[in-house]
Structure 1
Amino acid sequence: MSTNPFMTMLVLIQAAESTVHLQKEDNSTILEMTQVRRSVQEALWGMCAADAMSMPVHWYYNIDDIKRDFGGWITGFYTPKNQHPSSILTLSNSAGSGRTAWSSGDNRPHVVGNIILHDKLKFWKASGKSVHYHQGLQAGENTLNAICSLRVAQALAVGKFANVAEPAARGAVLADYICFMTTPGTHGDTYAESFHRAFFSDWQDQSPTSSSRVLEFAEQRYKRKIKMSIPDSQLDAIGCLPMAIPFLLFSATSNEDQAVCAAVEFVRLTHPHPKVEKYVSLYARALHATLNGACLKELAEAALQSPTLNAWETSKPYIEKAVRFPVSSEERLKVHQNAVEMLGLACYTKGALSSMFYLAHQFHDDPCGGVLANTNCGGENCNRGAALGALLGARAGYTDGSIPQVWKDGLLNAAEPIKEILKQMH
């Protein structure tokens, strides 16, 4: 049978066009992957930069104290003062969650000094009430929660998990967390918030260390805690987010539901509180979408409008007022400070997340300005900042922006771990 030359040529042309199309698809996929990777990279830097920036004025509830202690608004990394104008560190419960006055009186041993924060109990028991939560840290150092977040990222990177939503990933992370927290000299922070103290108060009875046994302990603890008629209110806090962020960064190329699942399933084990899941889900969806190129301003508005926060109507007057003043002006900063005070200055998740999304909306294209504004709004600015910094960094990966190099270089105990994590992620 003779071959039709025309048909042969047509087949060859179609094959060539198909090859070109596939090459274009491959190139597009590579470009997309590179873009996501850059977004993940800047998110990690942003998280740590915002935490370190806020560290010296963490929990400054009177913002005038910022100007008084540092001679003006914060514009870079600073070493904290030994004294803190609104510290209640010495009232905190060194045996578990909350304040000493709230403890059950069952004479539980000190978690602080015995199991974690090995040489820091003296600061918790100091006379007077003004010890800085992060006394002893240097300019550019990160707080415990951000350091723990980097440990999570390192554990996930080393584990090479196909899916970080799988139980083995949570087990590996928790085993590393326990080793890190219970080993003297692993970090220099003075404070550990309630969720750490509550976790180790429960952990000390069995003291499991292998990843399988630690995971079993944490899951049983969750089941027990979530059924309590009066949940621990100190666990409904924005501090639930930093250690969840790496699960989202490692799920950047997974589908949204898988990424959200990875974050939520982990946070359940550190923050067993019935309200926390919906807040983590809201943040997780926003960060995952941002890592994949979505508009952060639109995402932030949607989050503020959501039934979970219902904070858009409260935010709008401040958004409208802020534009009347020049960018970076003190007048505009004052508007943001008032907004954050109204939306939520403290640690409780709903208010803190509302403030965080307000700042994300206002600084969606300005990571530097957003990090500084968050710091100078005071209150729970470290954990709020870590969550905000990750979002702003993630968005910067798509807008030819980045976290300032001088900030990256100035991160004393995060720069090298971040570089190593990014190397392993590639």
Structure 2
Amino acid sequence: MKGDMSQVRQSVSEALWAMCAADSMSMPVHWYYDIQDISRDFGGWISGFSAPRDRHPSSILTLSNTAGSGRTAWACGARRPDVVGTVILHDKLELWRSSKGSVHYHQGLRAGDNTLNILCSLRAARTLVRGGFADVSKPDARAAVLSDYVRFLTTPGTHNDTYAESFHRSFFSDWQETRPTSPQQLLTFAMKRSKHKLSSSLPDNQLDAIGCLPMVLPFILLSASASEEQAVSAAVEFVKLTHPHPRVPEYVSIYSQALHAVLGGASVRQQAEHALRRLDAWEICQSYSHKAARFPVSSEERLKVHQSAVNHLGLACYTKGALSSMFYLAREFHERPTAGILANANCGGENCNRGAALGALLGAGGSHIGAFIPQEWKDELRDARELVPDILKEMSPEEGTGTVA
């Protein structure tokens, strides 16, 4: 077994809290692509948890496909039945069809709430610890998580989020034909679907998105003391079932290796540099880093450099760019998790899923150097306050090892 058990638990705990904090902090300004809209809508840069406004300045929610992934249904050929309003997001269809447009993606959430992807991640973690799996890289762990996921999304009233991104809509568009529910049936369905999509000559590029990371985070966190190979396998084998796109496994491997190393005490700064080299983004990140260093820590001038860097590297959801942005911020804020979480929110774009991945890294790293998520933040995180203590309480002494020692 690697590392002191209580230190592993603390790393996993801080990674979960920081994942939730980064998502919730970004939620009201998620997909703000003109960052000036952030300070306009919130009277300055984000500095604490807020509720979203009803109106979103760059929302294209009403153009999204209610029957599957991507934009409006005509884009995917034959008309399929809606999943939004019938199979998932039971009371939200009118918002997707609103004639007003500019509907906020997370209308219905309050300050300190988490988005749907993070709720799915927390539930996956809870399912894994309750299942007592000796090794979360094995098929039965994936089957249990899928079964809970389907129950959660198809049961009315389980959450208040308005938006479900493409991977959810695509999954349930295919699922609704046969509607499997048992863990084994779902695993068989998801593996068959994944094999078909991964061999397609026309992959669905909406699935090559940074939203692939939240649900794999628990698989990495609960393999904290297992080998790197086991942790990476646990994450990659699961993501193939939710995001069956040929490029995604490589990006998930890069992230999983970094997080696994940091959970074990490795430097966030070094892991970020290593990942940025693999993503061919190291040189450009260095130039932004040098620019940022000219300005005082926590100054608006330095924030503006970070905003430019994220805009250049990848502001949108596509995995490679978003991952490059995330690792840039991880390196810049490797010793200051709370400042990194705030900067990520104020960089706009796909800041929720990017933030969740960033938060987990910074939280895990911070736990080794005494840089913890503030207690007042933890107290304000509604969903996390309900779920994270449960997850930690149910972790067996060996949990986080991936194998029972």
CA contact (8 A) 1:96 1:103 kept: no
C-alpha distance after superposition, 1:13-32 (max 9, x if no partner): xxxxxxxxxxxxxxxx7971
Displacement, 1:129?
Answer: 2.2
- Residue 206 in 1 paired to residue 164 in 2? no
Q: Which of 237, 248, 251 is the aligned partner of 1:279?
A: 251
Aligned to 2:283: 313
**SS in structure 2 of the partner of residue 414 of structure 1:** helix
Aligned to 2:89: 117
Aligned to 1:354: 324
Q: Report the number of matched residues.
A: 396
- Residue 390 in 1 paired to residue 360 in 2? yes
Aligned to 2:298: 328
Displacement, 1:424?
Answer: 0.5
Aligned to 1:185: 157
Aligned to 2:315: 345
Q: Which of 227, 232, 239 is the aligned partner of 2:211?
A: 239
CA separation in 2, counterparts of 1:184 and 1:302? 43
2:355 maps to a residue whose letter is G
Moved over 6 A (4+): none
CA separation in 2, counterparts of 1:242 and 1:136? 21
1:421 maps to a residue whose letter is I
C-alpha distance after superposition, 1:159-202 (max 9, x if no partner): 00000000000000000000000000000000000000000000
- Residue 173 in 1 paired to residue 154 in 2? no
CA contact (8 A) 2:51 2:109 kept: yes
CA separation in 1, counterparts of 2:299 and 2:50? 21
CA contact (8 A) 1:36 1:397 kept: no
Displacement, 1:235?
Answer: 0.1
Q: Which of 117, 140, 143 is the aligned partner of 1:145?
A: 117
1:302 maps to a residue whose letter is H
Aligned to 2:196: 224
Q: Which of 400, 410, 416 is the aligned partner of 2:380?
A: 410
CA contact (8 A) 2:2 2:264 kept: no
Aligned to 2:400: none
Displacement, 1:128?
Answer: 3.0
Q: Which of 4, 8, 20 is the aligned partner of 1:48?
A: 20
CA separation in 2, counterparts of 1:197 and 1:317? 39
1:359 maps to a residue whose letter is L
CA separation in 1, counterparts of 2:277 and 2:205? 24
> Structure 1 residues 235 and 334 mapped into 2: Cα distance closer, same or farther (>3 Å)?
same
CA separation in 1, counterparts of 2:7 and 2:238? 27
Unaligned 5+ segments in structure 1 are 1-28
Displacement, 1:415?
Answer: 1.0
RMSD: 1.0
CA separation in 2, counterparts of 1:35 and 1:176? 29
CA contact (8 A) 2:73 2:79 kept: no
C-alpha distance after superposition, 1:23-68 (max 9, x if no partner): xxxxxx7971111111111000010000000000000000000000
TM-score, normalising length: structure 2: 0.97
Displacement, 1:103?
Answer: 3.1
1:5-44 alignment, distance < 5 Å: 32-44=4-16
Displacement, 1:101?
Answer: 5.4
Aligned to 1:25: none
**SS in structure 1 of the partner of residue 4 of structure 2:** helix
